[in-house]
Amino acid sequence: MRHRLIRGIFSELLKASKIEKIVLILPFIVLILDADIFYFAWKNNEKNILIASGFVLLLSILEIFAALKEIHDHVYALRRKEILEKRLRKIMKRIERPTVRKIVDKFMAEYPKEFDISEVYHVACSLIDEEEINLKKK
């Protein structure tokens, strides 16, 4: 129960792509460098440098939060799509000669408010294409 937020953030970071991880590392590098400049300006009482480095420090922190939010949204969308695919596959198995329309209608009857119809339609189309490719290989 303790540190649930931190564990959740780290699990999302592990699922993030390499580009997203790089985008998150760069603001940390800038933050460290700017913190050093900020400390130097603080010790030497350089007000102009202190104000400028404080502004860049704030921007670095905001960039880190923005990158974390973007990673969270991406992982959330992937999880949501996986759940949708799993449910649609179950429905496909129950339907004889499944079509996109049959799958979407059946799914929307069972889960009317969880997913938008456009989400369901696109995933159903990809599953039907996948099924046709598998049938052609056999």
Cβ-proximal residues to 23 (8 Å cutoff; 6+ apart), any chain: 67, 70
Would you state the pLDDT for residue 82?
92
- Confidence label for 117 from pLDDT (cuts 50, 70 and 90): confident
| Model confidence pLDDT, tens digit, residues 82-106 | 999 999 999 988 888 888 898 889 9
- Confidence label for 17 from pLDDT (cuts 50, 70 and 90): confident
Amino acid found at 108: M
Would you state the pLDDT for residue 12?
75
pTM: 0.71
Cβ atoms within 10 Å, residue 123: 23
Reduced to 3 states (helix: H, G, I; strand: E, B; else coil), residue 117 is helix
| Model confidence pLDDT, tens digit, residues 46-71 | 899 889 999 999 998 998 898 888 88
CA 39 to chain CA centroid, nearest Å: 35
